Structure 1
Amino acid sequence: MRRSRITAYVTSLLLAIGVALTGATSAHASQLAAATGYVALGDSYSSGVGAGGYIASSGNCKRSTKAYPYLWAAAHSPSTFNFTACSGARTGDVLASQLTPLGSSTGLVSISVGGNDAGFADVMTTCVLQSDSNCLSRINTAKAYVDSTLPGQLDTVYDAISSRAPAAHVVVLGYPHFYKLGQACLGLSEAKRSAINGAADHLNGALAKRAADHGFTFGDVRNAFTGHELCSGSPWLHSLNLLSIGDSYHPTAAGQSGGYLPVFTSAA
């Protein structure tokens, strides 16, 4: 009789556990199934500065219909699409003004951020206007910032994304090499061009490391832009443009559709 009671108890306990697990799994599956919204965060490389076709309502954020987030959403029809990336954005700006659309229904997030924190615009200004030694010195300052300060800022942003959108798959997009090396090219010296590419590598390394530590996917666009850097025969980046200074060193429409979009699509 004792054995019969124990057997019955164990059987009922196992059945109860099975029902609970099945219910939890079903609930989790339902949550994931509902999480199909897409939110595009980040800086000018995500908003589409340089690509043209800017959405009037986005103002100085210069969100473009030719930017990879907009192109991806048009091709994949997510249940919702919120495009909050903004020209000039730093990590603090993402935290302050871009995260509102994130929620339990968010299934996909893209973000490019960190270049402005590291002083990208000032690096390029210094390298264009000043000597090789000043350019390399400013790049070394930026790299030191990437090593000492940027990881913590990225952690804060990435933690906030995970907290607000726990079901989301997050893709962190990096930055391309700016120059094709090893050939004659008007403008910056080979030393400057090589150092600027090295700075992009340094920044991408930090982004990839922080993304991996948060369980995010890193979208490396350097290979996609190979053969399309400045000083190549078919650049996907704007060179220095005095008539539209903000476009300088940003992807063209072809850079968004041919460079960023395929990398993001693969990672998403």
Structure 2
Amino acid sequence: MPQRPLARALTALVAVLTAAVGAAAVPGAAHATAHAAAGVNYVALGDSYSSGVGAGPYDQSTCLRSEKSYAPLWAAANQVASFTFPACGGAVTADVIGSQVNALSTGTTLVTITIGGNDAGFADVITSCRFGSTSSCTDAVNEAKVFATGELPGRLDRTYAAIRDRAPNARLIVLGYPRLFETGSCGLLAMSTYKRTILNEAADLLASVTAGRAAAAGATFADTRPYFAGHGVCAAAPWIRDVSGVIEAYHPNADGYRYGYLPALTAVTG
């Protein structure tokens, strides 16, 4: 996620096995789903939460794409006819409109995307909260929330419209971001409960705005928050990385993509 994507790659901002259990309960259900998806031409767009930052290992591009992200996992499990993966760590809506949509065509039948966190500057917000004072954290969160309700909706609308224009026959699925934190005890060096709480509230607002614009565009919104519940930073078994790596901090780890994002996508694709 060149220098600009790496700087923005920190963006942040239950029933995990429901789909798998449901398929196992019905004889042949998993086979039927894979068969139904066999004719799917799938393109995965978006930012670092789509490219798989945090899961590793990565391809040789600057986009930090991982085969352990939810998109390649879903494509492999469903034996799709074709899979294209232009998602890129650090991407903003302008990057999707300006370049990623070039991977779409009238033959595309499924598009997934996570986008908007970098536009709202959540990398800087999390940095302010992790290393700054309580007041600087509060100010950064409030500024991001103003952007999320003011400027971001129009950017999302233009992004979804560009996808529709390039792939008029595709189903568009917009995946949201999870809450990043648990708010219980987290050790002396962790962010305060207050900081973690207001960051989660900002994530909730971002999810609400994104869901609303996705619905307006006729897209399906896949809410990942229930799937990550109990597995944020400070959990006993976290699916979100803390500051273990500059690039990967506050992104899902491999379990987060497999047991959080993948079931969320599977739940809405049947």
- 1:163 Cα shift? 1.1
Amino acid corresponding to residue 246 of structure 1 in structure 2? I
Count of matched residue positions in the alignment of Structure 1 and Structure 2: 232
1:232 matched to 2:232? The reply is: no
Q: How does 1:1-268 map to 2 (within 5 A)?
A: 36-56=40-60, 59-186=61-188, 187-241=190-244, 244-268=245-269
Once residues 65 and 115 of structure 2 are traced to their aligned partners in structure 1, the CA distance between those partners, rounded to angstroms, is 15
- 1:144 Cα shift? 0.2
- Classify the secondary structure of the residue corresponding to 1:237: coil
Amino acid corresponding to residue 39 of structure 1 in structure 2? V
- 1:101 Cα shift? 1.7
- Classify the secondary structure of the residue corresponding to 1:245: coil
- 1:222 Cα shift? 0.5
- 1:227 Cα shift? 1.2
- 1:184 Cα shift? 4.3
Give the TM-score taking structure 2 as reference length.
0.83
C-alpha RMSD of matched pairs (Å): 1.4
Quick one: higher RCO (CA 8 Å, sep 6+), 1 or 2? 2
- 1:42 Cα shift? 0.2
Amino acid corresponding to residue 128 of structure 1 in structure 2? R
- 1:185 Cα shift? 3.7
Once residues 57 and 69 of structure 2 are traced to their aligned partners in structure 1, the CA distance between those partners, rounded to angstroms, is 9
- Classify the secondary structure of the residue corresponding to 1:210: helix
Once residues 187 and 111 of structure 2 are traced to their aligned partners in structure 1, the CA distance between those partners, rounded to angstroms, is 38
- Classify the secondary structure of the residue corresponding to 1:63: coil
**Runs ≥4 residues deviating over 4 A:** none
Once residues 234 and 184 of structure 1 are traced to their aligned partners in structure 2, the CA distance between those partners, rounded to angstroms, is 13
Q: Contact conserved, 2:106 with 2:168, CA < 8 A, in 1?
A: yes
Once residues 206 and 173 of structure 2 are traced to their aligned partners in structure 1, the CA distance between those partners, rounded to angstroms, is 16
- 1:198 Cα shift? 0.4
Once residues 185 and 199 of structure 1 are traced to their aligned partners in structure 2, the CA distance between those partners, rounded to angstroms, is 23
**Deviations, residues 65-116 of structure 1 (Å, cap 9, x unaligned):** 1000010111112211110000000000111110112111111000000000
**Deviations, residues 43-63 of structure 1 (Å, cap 9, x unaligned):** 00000001012122xx11011
Q: Contact conserved, 1:35 with 1:105, CA < 8 A, in 2?
A: no
Q: Contact conserved, 1:176 with 1:222, CA < 8 A, in 2?
A: yes
* Paired-residue identity, %: 49
Structure with the higher helix share, 1 or 2: 1
- Aligned partner of 2:19 in structure 1 is none
Amino acid corresponding to residue 221 of structure 1 in structure 2? T
- Aligned partner of 1:30 in structure 2 is none
**Deviations, residues 166-222 of structure 1 (Å, cap 9, x unaligned):** 111111010111111133444101110000000000100000000001110101011
Gaps of 5+ in 2: 1-36
Once residues 254 and 208 of structure 2 are traced to their aligned partners in structure 1, the CA distance between those partners, rounded to angstroms, is 26
Q: Which has the larger radius of gyration?
A: 1
